[in-house]
Amino acid sequence: MPHRHSLTELAAMLRARDISALELTEHFLARIEAANGLNAFITVDAEGARAQARAADERLADDDPPPLCGVPIVHKDIFCTRGMRTSCGSRMLDNFTAPYDATVVERLAAAGTVTLGKTNMDEFAMGSSNETSWYGAVRNPWSTDRVPGGSSGGSAAAVSARLAPAATGTDTGGSIRQPAAFCGLTGLKPSYGRVSRYGIVAFASSLDQAGPLAQSAEDAAALLDAMSGFDPRDSTSLDKALDPTVSSLGDSLRGLKIGLPREFFDAGVDDEVATAVQAAIARLCELGASTVEVSLPNMAAGIPCYYVIAPAEASSNLARFDGVRYGYRCENPVDLADLYERSRAEGFGDEVKRRIMIGTYALSSGYYDAYYLKAQKIRRLIAADFEKAFAACDVVAGPTTPTTAFGLGEKTDDPVSMYLNDIYTNTVNLAGLPGVSLPVGFDRVGLPVGMQLIGPYLGEARLLNVAHQYQSSTDFHRQIPGAFA
């Protein structure tokens, strides 16, 4: 069956004409329709996908089709996509149709991909469980009473259930890597500036970064190479020639030094998660790597630091949604103040309101120095910790999350407990570094465990090679939830 093949394998099958792009698209559209109980999608564009697939079949007849020609993918509903609703999982943008493509959408289309639709997400990417969406919670394909992680939970659920070979996501504090861990996928958060943010609805501009969710490191590398590159429309885009990552996937691990931060294996991590991660590290050592202990002493400050900086930037970015220019507008406002107040009160959900309030407070007169400025200083210390660690090792390894996927509704009444789920991931965003999560086992009830690898700035090629070498000798990444096999 086509859905049991990876993106890379499907691309090869399409080039060999073993299957047509239209046949492949129809296969995945049928699976999406049959799996609507997961609530992974906000929009399915069946007719648009068929039209793109027919065009891809024509291009596949050429001598040199694009590398991903005819491969279906899905986009997180935070990427502007021309002619399609871009809602960000919010009532505020429920009626917004994007007039242009985000750079990521544009570049993947140029690589030949077929867009099946847009996936569900935590509202404005604010959440760790995909339960804050205006369109309802997404369910984890491995156990539908569990969360898929967030905020890219719809993308992760879709790929995990093999409703699509791969998906885009965004990662502000772990929103690609954490859902990848919960759903048994490979999820990559690239270095800040490697992938353009143009056309991504902003949450926290100094932290947001787009990346792929896929079955394997090989698939993630192919998507990253298609997505990456300088974009003059994004002032934070890195203007530098980038080496492709796919060509580095055959490198030996001989001599590789893996840093193990003592803070990643403290009392806060579940025993089954720690055991699976330690077994994966032992496997990497069998492949030629060695380990060295390192320390990230300011990691514990990552959560409070992140939850000052990210809400502050969100408060600024979300000020544009005022009921005037586009998006949700309240009915029958009595004056301009009423229009602003009720449009925002009715258009935003509780978690978004909470973060706007926190951010506005942190930026207000009399509190800026005490909170926002101090958080920026801590951010610099966190980056310095990583710089020191990478002086002693090539990559840092540890759990992606403290536990496997938790139950739906389990943490919705306790925001701080929800925030702590990102304790191993958000420091990577604060430092602007690349990180990848890959599946390394299952807990006693059959839920996936993820291991995170972190590299120095622009170290994606090495990270993906380490993940690929591990996956070449294991099959955790090939496992499919039983109900979707």
Summarize pLDDT for 209-262 with one digit per residue, the tens: 999 999 999 999 999 999 999 999 999 999 999 989 999 999 999 999 999 999
What confidence score (pLDDT) does residue 268 get?
84
Mean pLDDT of the region 141-145: 98
Instruction: Give Cβ neighbours of residue 294 (< 8 Å, ≥ 6 apart).
Output: 259, 260, 261, 262, 388, 389, 392, 393, 396
The DSSP string of 180-211 is HHHHT-EEEEPPTTTB--TTBPPS-TTT--EE
**Residues forming a β-bridge with 186:** 214
The token duo for 358 is 């926190």
292 touches 332 (CB < 8 A): no
| Residue closest to 224 by CA, chosen among 241, 200, 206, 242 | 242
Measure the CA–CA gap between 271 and 144, rounded to whole angstroms.
Answer: 23
The DSSP string of 155-167 is HHHHHHTTSSSEE
Measure the CA–CA gap between 199 and 234, rounded to whole angstroms.
Answer: 9
Mean pLDDT of the region 147-161: 98
Task: Look at strands 186-189 and 435-442 and give their pairing.
Answer: antiparallel
| Residue closest to 296 by CA, chosen among 330, 260, 252 | 260
Measure the CA–CA gap between 313 and 382, rounded to whole angstroms.
Answer: 19
Residue 420 has pLDDT above 90, yes or no: no
Which amino acid belongs to residue 408?
A: L
Q: Is 115 left (phi over 0), alpha (psi -120 to 50) or beta?
A: beta
401 band by pLDDT with thresholds 50, 70 and 90? very high
What mean pLDDT is reported for the chain? 96
Task: Look at strands 435-442 and 448-454 and give their pairing.
Answer: antiparallel
Give the pTM: 0.97
DSSP assigned state of 44: E
Mean pLDDT of the region 258-268: 90
The dihedral over CA atoms of 134, 48, 327, 150, expressed in degrees to the nearest 10, equals: 30
Residue 177 has pLDDT above 90, yes or no: yes
Helices 460-472 & 271-286 angle (0-180, nearest 10): 90
Strands of the 72-76 sheet, one edge to the other: 41-44, 114-119, 72-76, 166-170, 210-214, 186-189, 435-442, 448-454, 395-399, 257-261, 290-294
Measure the CA–CA gap between 159 and 183, rounded to whole angstroms.
Answer: 9
Instruction: Name the 3-class secondary structure at 38.
Output: helix
466 touches 418 (CB < 8 A): no
Peptide bond into 129 cis (omega under 30): no
How do residues 12-66 score in pLDDT, each as one tens digit? Answer: 999 999 999 999 999 999 999 999 899 999 999 999 999 999 999 999 998 889 9
- Alpha-carbon torsion (331, 336, 337, 340), positive or negative: positive
Angle at 187 between CA 259 and CA 412, to 5 degrees: 100
Mean pLDDT of the region 406-429: 91
How do residues 323-345 score in pLDDT, each as one tens digit? Answer: 998 899 999 999 999 999 999 99
State phi, psi for 149 to the nearest 5 degrees. 90, 170
Q: Which residues are catalytic?
A: 76, 151, 175
188 band by pLDDT with thresholds 50, 70 and 90? very high
Residue 266 has pLDDT above 90, yes or no: no
How do residues 345-391 score in pLDDT, each as one tens digit? Answer: 999 999 999 999 999 999 998 889 889 999 999 999 999 999 999 99
What confidence score (pLDDT) does residue 42 get?
98
Instruction: Name the 3-class secondary structure at 449.
Output: strand
Considering only CA atoms, give the Rg of the chain: 21
What confidence score (pLDDT) does residue 41 get?
98
What confidence score (pLDDT) does residue 415 get?
84
**CA-to-CA separations, 296 to 90, 293, 305, 424, in angstroms, rounded:** 36, 10, 15, 11
How do residues 81-96 score in pLDDT, each as one tens digit? Answer: 999 999 999 999 999 9
What confidence score (pLDDT) does residue 294 get?
97
What confidence score (pLDDT) does residue 416 get?
82
Instruction: Name the 3-class secondary structure at 390.
Output: helix
| Residue closest to 276 by CA, chosen among 443, 436, 395 | 443
Which amino acid belongs to residue 442?
A: F
Q: What domains, with CATH codes, occur in the chain?
A: 2-254 (3.90.1300.10)
Q: Terminus-to-terminus CA distance in the chain, angstroms? A: 9
Share above pLDDT 70 across residues of the chain, in percent, rounded to a whole number: 100
Share above pLDDT 90 across residues of the chain, in percent, rounded to a whole number: 94
How do residues 439-472 score in pLDDT, each as one tens digit? Answer: 999 999 999 999 999 999 999 999 999 999 999 9
What confidence score (pLDDT) does residue 414 get?
87
Measure the CA–CA gap between 96 and 470, rounded to whole angstroms.
Answer: 43
The token duo for 388 is 């020191």
Residue 267 has pLDDT above 80, yes or no: no
372 touches 363 (CB < 8 A): yes
The token duo for 272 is 């089954």
What confidence score (pLDDT) does residue 162 get?
98
Residue 413 has pLDDT above 90, yes or no: no
What confidence score (pLDDT) does residue 417 get?
84
